[in-house]
Structure formats: C-alpha cells, structure tokens
C-alpha cells in the first residue's frame, strides 16, 4: 500500500512532463504543438487550482476558529494541525504562483533574466512545478514536526512496520530517476543514452570518485561545527527535527544494507533530479534552495541551512565535473553522517 501511495503521488508529475516533452518535440519539428502544450498546462493548472482551493479552505477554517473558539476543539478531533496559517497561506500562495507561472507574459518576464525559453512547454511546466516544493514544506510545517513524529510512531506501533522501509525508499528513488529521465526527454525527444548525457551522468574517472569522496568528508566536520554552534547558542535548534528524522530513517539504519541504501538512494534519485535535470535550467543557487526546502522533515532549522550548503557543494561538483561525481559525494556524505550518529549513540549508551 505504501508503494502504491508513493507511485500515485509521483504519477501526475511524470504524465505532465511526458506530455510537455511531446509538445516540445513537435515544436522543434515545426509541427502543431499547442494542443499537447495546452493539455499539459491544463493538467498542471487543475492540480494547482485544487491546492489553492484546499489552502483557501484551511484559511476559512482558521477564520472560523477565531470567531468560534469551540470549533477548534471539534476540528482537532478530526485532524491535528499545529498551524492553520501555514497550511492556508503556505498552500494558497505557491499554488496561485504556480498558476501565474503558466501564463506566457510571466514566463517572458522570467526569461528576460534566465535561460528559460518562454515558448517551450517543458520549461513552462518545469518552472511552475517548482511551486510544489514550498507547498510540500507548508504541509509539513502546518501539521507540525512533532505531530508527524507522533503519528509515525503510532502507525509503526499499530502496523509493526517502520514508516519508511527499504522497498519504499528504493521505489521513491526509482520514481525520482524516472522523473529526471522523462523530464529531459527520454521516450519522447531523446534516447536513453542521450538522456543520460543531458543529465551529465557518466562513468566517473578514479580521480573524480576520490574528489567526490573528499568533498563529502570535508563537509562532515563543517556540519559537526555548525551543529555544535547551534546547540551552544540555541539558534536554529528544533528537537522535533531529530525526533522526526529518527522515526523516518532510524529503523533503516540498524543494518549495513540500510545505511548503504540511505546513501545510495538519495544520491541517485535526488542528484538525478536536482543536479542532473534542474540545475542546468534553473541555476546553482535556486536549485540548491529548492533542494534544501524539499527536505521538509528538517522544517526551517539549522539542518535546512546545512542542506543548502550541501546543495551548493554538489552543484559545484556537477558544474566542475559531472552529476556522477555529485552522486558519489552525496552517497558518502549521507552514509558517513548516519554511521557517525550510530557510533555516537552507542558510545553515549555505553558510557
């Protein structure tokens, strides 16, 4: 059931990207492409319209609770929400922005200071889809990290299964890879090999492998110092981040295969989408920002800043070398941090 859920979550994005690529293929061949382009815009617009209406409903609920305080207790028995404002405004504003980004005048304005082609259907839907990231973050912050952690713990207790299994993790990774490949034109405009070339996924040299490993290991002490500084000053510290992270990946880290999977799965899937597909189109800093915000389980904390810094490093590796080098660095970084966290927990437990 969990695998079916994640497939259904990604399916609309895959379909829309596929249709937009077909439209762009026809456009490149000077054939009528607008019917397919309009179909892609319409499908995406329907998704954003639904999310905007849902956000408006949350805002209505927030106003209603302010007028009738007893209503809040009634709603809390149905759904536990930490911030109705985050849910309402955090969904409505990005959804409306997504709709605006589908408008050609808005795309022309953005194209004036970017590499985007305002007439390219694929560029249009890709740009608008970036608004899914702040919506996803708003959902997490609205429900609350502590609430999500409690819900996951309850779910694990009732089902006897961890919230995230290896099957779920690798299914999600496969879907990320599919999005990256479909997004750059596989099955429509490019062969599989051409799609990999566009993603800059190549066989790395031995030197590039060591550069990726070195870059990852260099990040670890930096992250440790930032974390120590945050703990000492209390800036950017959120205990709920650790609790939620433990609920999400804690059970997986109990085996060598799990630790390896956490490193490889994130590296393959996320680097394919963010560094491979998105960065050449959106640029280093915007891609790193989206990469940081999509890790909504960190909320808005010091960990978010760390992920942003990691995104900059991985983006630089993509520019300087290739996406595969960034994958190596990402995999080593994740696995090393998890391994260090496990060793630290065992040391503290034995002391």
The Cα–Cα gap between 70 and 133 comes to: 33
pTM: 0.93
Tokens representing 269?
């899937």
The Cα–Cα gap between 131 and 305 comes to: 20
Q: What are phi and psi of 321, to 5 degrees?
A: -125, -90
Would you tell me how many other CB atoms lie within 10 Å of the CB of residue 189? 18
pLDDT score of 231 more than 80 = no
pLDDT score of 1 more than 90 = no
pLDDT tens-digit series, residues 164-206? 888 889 999 999 999 999 999 999 999 999 999 999 999 999 9
72-85: burial string, b at 16+ Cβ within 10 Å, e else: eeeeeeeeebbbbe
**Confidence at 77, pLDDT banded by 50, 70, 90:** low
pLDDT tens-digit series, residues 19-32? 999 999 999 999 99
User: Which pLDDT score is estimated for 149?
Assistant: 85
The Cα–Cα gap between 41 and 63 comes to: 32
Average pLDDT of the chain, as a whole number: 89
Q: How far is C-alpha 334 from the geometric centre of its chain's CA atoms?
A: 16
Tokens representing 348?
């503290």
Question: Taking a C-beta distance cutoff of 8 angstroms, is the pair 292, 134 a contact?
Answer: no
């Amino acid at each position: 059931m969990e695998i079916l859920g994640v497939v259904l979550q990604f399916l609309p994005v895959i379909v829309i990207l596929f249709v937009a690529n077909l439209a762009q293929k026809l456009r490149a061949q000077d054939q009528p492409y607008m019917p397919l382009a309009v179909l892609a815009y319409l499908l995406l617009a329907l998704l954003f319209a639904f999310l905007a209406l849902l956000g408006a409903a949350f805002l209505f609920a927030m106003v209603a609770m302010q007028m009738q305080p007893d209503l809040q207790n009634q709603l809390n028995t149905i759904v536990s929400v930490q911030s109705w404002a985050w849910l309402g405004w955090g969904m409505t504003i990005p959804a409306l922005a997504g709709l605006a980004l589908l408008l050609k005048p808005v795309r022309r304005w953005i194209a004036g200071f970017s590499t985007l082609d305002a007439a390219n259907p694929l560029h249009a839907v890709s740009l608008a889809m970036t608004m899914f990231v702040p919506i996803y973050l708003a959902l997490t912050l609205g429900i609350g990290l502590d609430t999500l952690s409690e819900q996951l713990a309850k779910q694990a207790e009732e089902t006897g299964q961890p919230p995230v299994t290896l099957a779920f993790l690798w299914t999600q990774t496969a879907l990320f890879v599919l999005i990256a490949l479909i997004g750059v034109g596989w099955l429509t405009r490019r062969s599989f090999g051409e799609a990999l070339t566009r993603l800059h996924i190549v066989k790395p040299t031995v030197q590039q492998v060591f550069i990726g490993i070195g870059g990852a290991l260099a990040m670890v002490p930096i992250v440790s110092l930032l974390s120590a500084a945050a703990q000492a000053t209390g800036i950017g510290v959120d205990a709920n981040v650790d609790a939620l992270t433990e609920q999400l990946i804690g059970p997986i880290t109990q085996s060598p295969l799990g630790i390896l999977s956490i490193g490889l799965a994130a590296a393959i899937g996320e680097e394919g989408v963010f560094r491979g597909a998105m960065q050449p189109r959106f640029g280093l800093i915007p891609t790193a920002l989206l990469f940081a915000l999509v890790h909504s389980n960190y909320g808005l904390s010091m960990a978010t800043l760390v992920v942003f810094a990691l995104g900059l490093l991985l983006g630089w590796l993509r520019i300087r070398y290739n996406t595969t080098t960034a994958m190596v660095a990402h995999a080593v970084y994740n696995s090393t941090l998890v391994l260090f966290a496990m060793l630290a927990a065992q040391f503290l437990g034995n002391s």
